[in-house]
Chain A
Amino acid sequence: MAWTYKAGIPIYTQIISIIKTRIANGTYPAGTRLPAVRELAVDAGVNPNTMQRALAELERSGIIYSIRTSGRFVTEDTAMLGDLRKSLGREQIAALFASLRALGMTEDEIVAAVQEWRRAGMAEREVQDGNT
């Protein structure tokens, strides 16, 4: 039911990340209307105040905007959305590097492993294409 939340970080911050991700991956497509605060709050399993706070932050950053009687909308600004994807992507890469470093790999080893993984993936797909 509810989204899951971690310790140590305020919930509204986590909600901001989740909504940003959803915008970036197209769950809330560009230019479309977001569900109402109450609905989002129920979905997220949080207090509407908390959701409101998160949405206010997002509005301030420009990712979403509100029209008084109509509700809140995702921006159509493709540049901004592109930047969002990039920054979310960077966060994921940073996280990946952090966890692989924790396994003892150096940054060069990590880059090499990624390229190897990609090559193996492409080869597998060729085999599959050959079989069909």
Chain B
Amino acid sequence: MGILDCRNLTKKYGADTALDNVNLELIPGRIVGLLGPNGSGKTTLIKLCMNLLKPTSGEILIDGMKPGPYTKSLVSYLPDRDILENWMNVLQLLDFYTDFYQDFDAGRAVNMLSSLGIDERMPLRKMSKGTREKVQLIMTMSRRAKVYLLDEPIAGVDPAARDYILRTIISNYDPEAMVLISTHLIADVESVLDEAIFIRQGRVDLFDSCDSIRERTGLTLDEYFRRTYHFE
């Protein structure tokens, strides 16, 4: 049993099947890519982890338990949108995270913020979108969680910020945690990944270590993705 298990996990919206019989076992110490075209079910899978959706059938388990308040204390989630309470400033946001998450490392967050020169007293709504995204990332990565779910962390972000985000993910690596990066920008992340899940139309096509895929196909993950999904 891994830290994140999906067993025959299915999610339907009426006649629409978002996830079809997904079976996965993800273990700690790995950085895993959830790779697939838009609409393939990546976000649905992540929302199911976070109990923002309920499965139609099958189950999803985090550390052996169904998603709920306890699993949320183990999972650090970075959605692909602006979610912060914009009336807060950074100091208040730090307090917020410290208040609710026992595993939040405020010291680490403060270091990262100051290395980016972010003013702690500035209200979030006065920051540029890019800066807010970095703040969101820093908060997420400053938790010493068991599972990190990063939904499109580098989409819509300039190359320098992209570098920063990937470096942050690498340097925060924890052998007891599992990082799941959901993205369709494969070329940028593939060197960071241990394993890759290729998902399309709600079905998992492939789940293997990146090196095996590269050796087997002789392609980079990006090339493999393009060839396999080029009509999507």
Contact = CB atoms under 8 A, between A and B. Distances in A.
A–B direct touch in complex (beta carbons closer than 8 A):
yes
Interface of A: 1-2, 5-12, 38, 41-42, 44-50
A42 B191 CA distance: 11
B30 to A, nearest CB: 7
Contact of B170 (A6, A12, A41): A41
Nearest to B215: A10
B91 interface: no
A9 B194 contact: no
Interface string B12-46: 00000000000000000111000000000000000
Interface string B194-231: 10000000000000001100110011100100000000
Contact of A47 (B163, B192, B218): B192
Given A7-B220, A7-B223, A47 B170 contact: yes
Contacts of B223: 7
Contacts of B163: 1-2
A49 B193 CA distance: 9
A8 B170 CA distance: 23
A17 to B, nearest CB: 15
B173 interface: yes
Nearest to B224: A7
15 contacts: A2-B191, A5-B220, A6-B220, A7-B223, A9-B214, A9-B215, A10-B211, A11-B214, A38-B173, A45-B167, A45-B191, A47-B31, A47-B192, A47-B194, A48-B173
Contacts of A47: 31, 170, 173, 191-194
A96 B171 CA distance: 37
Contacts of A10: 211, 214-215
Contacts of B30: 49
B171 to A, nearest CB: 5
Given A47-B194, A49-B194, A38 B210 contact: no
Contact of A46 (B29, B170, B215): B170
A5 B221 CA distance: 11
B98 to A, nearest CB: 25
B61 interface: no
B82 to A, nearest CB: 26
Contacts of B173: 38, 41, 47-48
A110 B166 CA distance: 44
A122 to B, nearest CB: 42
A11 B167 contact: no
A55 to B, nearest CB: 15
Q: Which of B170, B211, B223 has the most chain A CB within a 10 Å cutoff?
A: B170
Contacts of A46: 170, 191-192
Q: Which of A7, A12, A44, A47 has the most chain B CB within a 10 Å cutoff?
A: A47
A8 B191 contact: no
A128 to B, nearest CB: 41
Contacts of A5: 191, 220
A7 B218 contact: yes
Contacts of A2: 163, 166, 191
Given A47-B192, A50-B211, 16 more contacts: A2-B191, A7-B218, A7-B223, A8-B215, A8-B218, A8-B219, A10-B211, A10-B214, A10-B215, A11-B210, A11-B214, A45-B170, A45-B191, A47-B193, A49-B194, A50-B194
Interface in B128-186: 163, 166-167, 170-171, 173
